[in-house]
Amino acid sequence: MDHSKQIQEIASRLFAENKIDYFVGYRQNSFDDTQVPFLITDPAEIPKLVFTERSVFNLSNYLKPDHTKRKRVGLVVKGCDSRALNLMLTESQVKRENVYIIGICCEGVLNEKGEKAQNCVECVMPDPVVYDEILGTASGKREYIVNADIKELAQKALTERADYFENIFENCIRCNACRHSCPLCYCAKCCIDQETSTLYHGANTSSAGMHALMTWSLHLAGRCVDCRNCEKACPSHLPLHLLHKQNEMVIYENFQQHLAGMEKDDRGAFYKYSLSDPDDFIL
Amino acid sequence: MNLIFETDKAGLQKFYEEIIAKFETYAPVEKFEKFDYKRVSKLEECNPDSPIPSTMSVKPLFFPKTAKVMKFQEDSSGTTVSETDEDPLAGKRVILGVKHCDARGLQVLDEVYKWDYIDTDYKKRRENTIILSTRCDKAGTQCFCTSLDYDVENSDAHDVRIVNGLDGKIYIQSVTEKGENFLKENSSQQSVVGSQQSVEEIKKHYKSFESSFRLKMNYKEVNEKLQKLFDSPEFDPVSSNCISCNTCAFICPTCHCFKISDEKIKDTGVRYKSYDSCNNGYFTLMAGGHNPRPAKYRRWRQRAMHKFVYYKERFGVNLCVGCGHCAISCPVNISIFDVVNQVAK
C-alpha cells in the first residue's frame, strides 16, 4: 500500500490550481520507519509527502479550528479517518467546500511492533466513505466483529469491571493527549477541563481521573469510529479502546446495528428514533 | 577517591535485594509495556535496568502528579483552613534505576525550588532520598544528554552509580557523601573493593557510552543563537503539527508548572496542586478572556526558549536535560532537539 507518488501529484495539482491553502499528509521520520503528520503551505515541500502502511495518524484531527482555521485544506484519509470526517461534516465542524479529500482504500496499518494494528483486523469499513478522489481498489464493507477481550469484559460483574478499570486508570497522568488527538473532541471548553467543578477538576485523584475518562468515552459513544488515535497518543499506553469498543458493542446491539459515520448526514445513534427501538436496557 | 565495589550480576542482585529488604524502595515497574517508578517489595516486581524509551521520569516521586495542598471547611462562623494529613515523606527511601538525565533533572529542579519560596515538601523528599543509577550502556534513539551543558561522566546527580564495565564486571561507585555513607552501611554482600583500575574502567565505559549517541549538537552555539531568535519565523513550521496536548510537559523530568483545583463536596473540600502545561491553549488564558499565546507557535516558542534560554539566564543551568522523553511520548513525534536546532540553524 504505497500511494506516495499519487498523493504528491495530486498535491502539486491542487496547489497549482490554487484550490487549497494547506495540504495535510504524512512525512517520514528521520530516525526510523515511522511517520508523522505533515502540514504544508509551500509546494516545495511536496516531495516529502508519503503514504504507506505506516501512515497511522488520523489526519481529520487537523481540521479542528486550532490548526487550519478558515483555510481550504487538502487532506489524506483512510477508511476510519473518513468516517470521522463524515461526522465532523454532519456536525458542522468543517465546510465541505473547504476540504479536498483524497480517500485511500486502506489495507490496514501497522502498529509499533510492525504487526497489523488490532483495529485494522476488526475494521468494518476500509474504504473512504467521503472523498473527492479515491486511490486503491475498494474492497467493500466488512462484517462487524467483537473481539474476545471486549466480550470477556462485558461479562464481568459491575464491581469487578469497575475495579478492572480503576486498575487501568491508575497509570493515567491526565495529560489529555487522548482527547486532543481525537478528531471528534472539538469542544471549545471541554467539561473535563473545568478547574472548579467537583467531579472533573484537574487533579489526578482516582475519582476525578476515572470520571474524566468515563465521561469522555460516553461523549464519544455512538460517535467513535475506532481509529484509535487516542490509544496511540497515550504516553502511558493505556488500553483506551476497551471503553470505546464496549460502548460501540452496546450501541450496535441496541440501536439498529448503528456504526458511527458510515453514512452521509448520519447524526449518530442518539439522534435517531424509531418505535421499534428496544427499551428494556433503560432502567 | 570514592568508594568503589567490583561485582558481577549475581552480586548486584544481592545488593538490590539487601536494599529492598531494608528500605522503602522505588523502582521501575512495568505496566502496559511502559515502566513507571513505584514502591516495590521484591526485586522480581521491578526492573532497575528498564529500557530508556519506555521509562517514565522520576519527577512524580518528588513533585507528585497530584498533591493535597490544604483542607477547608465551611460553617456558620466562616471558612476554616487546615493542613492536610498527608506526610510528604516520613522515613528514608531509595530509588533504583534512575537514568542520568532524570537525576540531572532533579538537580535542575532544585534551583527553582530553592529560589524565592522554598518548597518544604520537595526539600524533605530530596533530602531523604538516596538515588541509585541505572546501567546506561547505549543511548536511545531520542537521547542527547551528552550534548548539553552538563558532564554526564562527572556529574554528582546520583548518590550511587552503577556501571557496566567493558571488561564484564559491574562497578558500584559512590558519588556523593550521602552515597558513600549509604554504601558503607549497605554493602555487606560486597567484598571486592575497587582500585585505580576500576576508575579507569568506568572512564572507558563512558567513552563507549558517549560514542553511541545518534543526536549531537553544539549546545553553546544553539543557546547563543536562540537568545536573539525570539521573533524567528521558524517556530511556526516546526510546531505546525503539534496537537496542543500536555504530554511533553507532564512526562518531562524538569517541567514544573502546576495548577490549583478544588474538590468540594458540600461544606468540606480539599485543594489540589497538579501538573499544568504551557503547550495547552488554556495555559495563559486570563479571566478577562485575553490570551497572549493563542497560536501554537507562540506556545512552542515559550517551551523551547524556557528550556534553552530563560532558565539558563536565570539559574545558570539548562532546563532541558536531553532525556528525549517528550519526543518518544509525543503523539506526533515532535522532538525539542529538532525544534531548537531547526530554529537556530
Contact of B24 with B93, CB cutoff 8 Å: yes
Phi, psi angle pair for A16, to nearest 5°: -65, -40
Q: Where are the alpha helices (DSSP H) in B128-251?
A: 177-185, 196-210, 219-227, 235-238, 247-251
- Structural element, H or E, at residue B343: helix B336-343
Residue A277 inside a domain? The answer is no
Query: pLDDT digits over B73-100, tens only?
Result: 998 989 899 888 776 676 789 999 999 8
A121 and A162 fall within a common domain: no
Phi, psi angle pair for A232, to nearest 5°: -70, -30
Q: For chain A, what is the domain count?
A: 2
A86 and A190 fall within a common domain: no
B247 and A175: CB-CB below 8 Å? yes
Report which of A168, A188, A170 is spatially closest to residue A179, judged by C-alpha positions. A188
Candidate from A62, A173, A198 with C-beta closest to B263: A198
pLDDT band at A283 (very low <50, low <70, confident <90, very high): low
- Collect all residues of chain B within an 8 Å Cβ-Cβ radius of residue A38: 241
Burial category of A159 from C-beta neighbours within 10 Å (exposed 0-12, middle 13-18, buried 19 and up): exposed
Report which of A45, A38, A36, A50 is spatially closest to residue A5, judged by C-alpha positions. A50
* Cα-to-chain-centroid distance, residue B104: 7
A212 and A125 fall within a common domain: no
A196 and B241: CB-CB below 8 Å? no
Candidate from A31, A204, A237 with C-beta closest to B66: A204
Q: Is the pLDDT of residue A5 over 90?
A: yes
Confidence (pTM): 0.90
A152 and A244 fall within a common domain: yes
Residues of B with a Cβ under 8 Å from any A Cβ are 31-34, 36, 56, 65-66, 141-142, 214, 240-241, 243-247, 249-251, 259-265, 272-277, 281-282, 296, 329, 331-334
Other CB atoms within 10 A of residue A112 CB: 11
Minimum mean pLDDT range among A167-176, A187-196, A229-238: A187-196
Instruction: List beta partners, residue B78.
Output: B75
A237 and B34: CB-CB below 8 Å? yes
Domain encompassing residue A262: 148-271
A15 and A128 fall within a common domain: yes
What parts of chain B have a pLDDT lower than 50?
Answer: 1
A12 and A85 fall within a common domain: yes
Query: For residues A256 and B334, which has the higher predicted lDDT (pLDDT)?
Result: B334
A24 and A85 fall within a common domain: yes
Q: What is the DSSP letter of A116?
A: B
- Collect all residues of chain B within an 8 Å Cβ-Cβ radius of residue A66: 244, 281, 296
Q: What does the block give as the cell for A57?
A: 495518524
* Cα-to-chain-centroid distance, residue B115: 19
A154 and A255 fall within a common domain: yes
Three-state DSSP state, B300: helix
Three-state DSSP state, A40: strand
Residue A142 inside a domain? The answer is no
A28 and A72 fall within a common domain: yes
Q: What does the block give as the cell for B191?
A: 567484598
Query: pLDDT digits over B159-206, tens only?
Result: 998 988 888 888 888 889 988 898 888 877 777 777 788 888 888 888
Q: What is the nearest CA distance from B116 to chain A, expressed in angstroms?
A: 25
Q: What is the DSSP letter of A46?
A: G
B263 and A57: CB-CB below 8 Å? no
Q: How far apart are CA A151 and CA B229, in angstroms?
A: 55
Q: What is the nearest CA distance from B257 to chain A, expressed in angstroms?
A: 13
Q: What is the nearest CA distance from A143 to chain B, expressed in angstroms?
A: 29
Query: pLDDT digits over A35-66, tens only?
Result: 999 999 999 999 999 999 999 999 999 998 88
Chain B, nearest residue to A61 by Cα: B243
A180 and B244: CB-CB below 8 Å? yes
A59 and A109 fall within a common domain: yes
Query: For residues B59 and A171, which has the higher predicted lDDT (pLDDT)?
Result: B59
Residue A126 inside a domain? The answer is yes
pLDDT band at A197 (very low <50, low <70, confident <90, very high): low
The average pLDDT across A136-141 equals 89
Q: How far apart are CA B320 and CA B31, in angstroms?
A: 27
Query: Residue B339 to residues A56, A224, B28, B144, B323: CA-CA distances in angstroms?
Result: 23, 33, 30, 14, 15
A68 and A189 fall within a common domain: no
Residue A204 inside a domain? The answer is yes
pLDDT band at A277 (very low <50, low <70, confident <90, very high): confident
A34 and B277: CB-CB below 8 Å? no
Residue A140 inside a domain? The answer is no
The average pLDDT across A102-131 equals 91
The average pLDDT across A76-84 equals 93
* ipTM topping 0.90: no
Residue A74 inside a domain? The answer is yes
The residue out of A104, A135, A166 marking a domain boundary is A135
Residue A279 inside a domain? The answer is no
Q: What stretches of B145-194 adopt beta strand conformation (E)?
A: 160-164, 170-174, 192-193
Residue A281 inside a domain? The answer is no
A39 and A157 fall within a common domain: no
Mutate to test the interface with B, among A58, A180, A210 (most CBs of B within 10 A): A180
